[in-house]
Amino acid sequence: MRPEEISKLVKRLSAIRGRHTELITVYVPAGANILVISKQLEAEKSTASNIKSKATRKNVIDALEKIVRELKGVKKTPENGLVIFCGNVSGKEGQQQIEFFAIEPHIPMNIKMYRCDQKFLTEPLREAVEKRDKYGLFVIDRHEATFGLLDGKTILQLSHHTSGVPGKIKAGGQSAARFARIREEVAKAFFKRMAEHLIKEFGDQSGREIKGILIGGPGPTKEDFLSETDIGRLKEKILAVEDIGYADEHGLKLLVEKAQTALEKAEITKEKNLLKDFFTLLGKKKEKVAYGESPVKKALEAGAVEKLLISEDFDEEFEKESKEFQKMAEDIGAEVLFVSTETEEGMSFKNLSGVGAFLRFAI
């Protein structure tokens, strides 16, 4: 299954709640012996027979039997493993509706697990699906600093800090030189504090697997920060140092915009460039693109589509039509690309119709 298909199913499964502990989750790791897994699940029926509630006992045993029956048709564990969800999803007391879901992940799953609960255990699968490129963001001037994270196409603010550096106006009869020294000392202390926080946010101990760090700030402040502080091995991860006029949340957005070259492989830039090309052709060479359900379907039927673009919102709202378009695209060897609504371009595409295509030839 494609990541976007898994993500949609995971969202649906996460919302299901059983009346009792009768929803079964099974994670079969890549390389596991499927026959051994089947025998282990068969043995779980003995444990389930001890459940006091007659209705819950029946639902759990029926779900286990359904899983074992389905696995009889599987000769070998899929290359990346297998994740199974099965149980009574009716939600109404005394009514049974056993449903079975089997997912072949797009990346190897190395988790082996059996769980019977009131909800399906979807977190490990969600984490695998949602694993996207992450970049650390840091903007600073002498008065404030903001840390952020570019997670796929989303910019998240992590924290905001102020320095306490006094303004340039003298106070209390202090000499200009003394006042300047005080300001410099406070600024250096702020830089040191922010360096420590940078390591905390993006260092090895942070738990964040970032691909690189972008730093921005006005004038020479960012360079002063880098020359006057020790951030250890994190210096090797710095991809770009950009001149940005703000050191707040707005500065994070400007930093991502300014560092397009460094982020050429990041998801947000790929999407923005793709849609920029689409809208350019729409304005200058309309015969090269199509948008709207009917024109895109016509292009798919003619085999003219090179790349099919589907807004994530369209995919969710018109699931049946989206699947039909995806199947038609696969049949003619066209690439299917999903467009988020995290960018201005993505929102514009959604408002245009939510479905479009680059064409191989005019129709």
Q: Tens of pLDDT along 82-103?
A: 999 999 998 788 889 999 999 9
Please tell me the distance from the alpha carbon of residue 168 to that of residue 211, in angstroms, as a whole number.
Answer: 39
CATH number at residue 50: 3.30.960.10
Judge if 240 and 339 occupy the same domain. no
- What is the CB-side half-sphere exposure of residue 145 using CA atoms within 13 A? 25
The three-state secondary structure class of 276 is: helix
CA angle 250, 148, 233 (to 5 degrees): 135
Shared-domain flag, residues 56 and 81: yes
Residue 40 neighbours by CB under 8 Å, 6+ apart: 114
Q: Are residues 97 and 199 in the same domain?
A: no
* CATH number reported for the structural domain that contains residue 170 in this entry: 3.30.420.60
Written as six digits, the tokens of 259 are 């560092």
pLDDT bin (cut points 50, 70, 90) of residue 131 is low
- Specify whether 244 is located in the same domain as 174: yes
pLDDT at position 167 over 80: no
Q: Which of 85, 114, 129 is where one domain is finished?
A: 129
How far apart, in whole angstroms, are the C-alpha atoms of residue 236 and residue 57?
A: 57
250 and 286 assigned to the same domain: no
Range of weakest confidence among 13-17, 85-89, 149-153, 177-181: 177-181
Domain end residue (candidates: 74, 96, 129):
129
Instruction: Give the ranges where 49-80 is alpha helix by DSSP (H).
Output: 54-71
Q: Which domain holds residue 145?
A: 134-262
- Per the CB < 8 A criterion, the answer to whether 100 and 76 are in contact is no
Contact criterion met (CB below 8 Å) for 160 and 173? no
DSSP letter, residue 231? -
Model confidence at 299, in pLDDT bands (50, 70, 90)?
very high
pLDDT tens digits along 239-288: 999 999 999 999 999 999 999 888 877 778 888 999 999 999 999 999 99
Q: What is the CATH number of the domain that holds 280?
A: 3.30.1330.30
Give yes or no for a contact between 141 and 190, defined as CB atoms under 8 angstroms apart.
no
Whether 277 and 254 map to the same domain: the answer is no
Q: Which candidate, 260, 281, 256, places its Cα nearest to that of 349?
A: 281
Angle at 149 between CA 126 and CA 271, to 5 degrees: 75
317 and 245 share one domain: no
The reply to whether 8 and 108 lie within a common domain is yes
Q: 123 and 146 in one domain?
A: no
Q: Are residues 168 and 246 in the same domain?
A: yes
Q: How far, in Å, CA of 149 to CA of 305, rounded? A: 35
The C-alpha atoms of residue 319 and residue 7 are separated, in whole angstroms, by 13
Q: Are residues 254 and 273 in the same domain?
A: no
pLDDT, position 264: 78
Quick check: 117 pLDDT over 80? Answer: yes
Give me 275's structure tokens. 């849609």
Domain-ending residue, one of 262, 295, 315: 262
- Number of domains, the chain: 3
What pLDDT, in 10s, does the model give residues 304-362?
999 999 998 898 789 889 989 999 999 999 999 989 887 889 999 999 999 999 999 99
Q: Are residues 220 and 308 in the same domain?
A: no
Q: Worst-scoring range by mean pLDDT, 54-58, 61-65, 78-82, 338-342?
A: 338-342
* Cβ neighbours of 169 (radius 10 Å): 6
Residue 207 confidence class, pLDDT cut points 50, 70, 90: confident
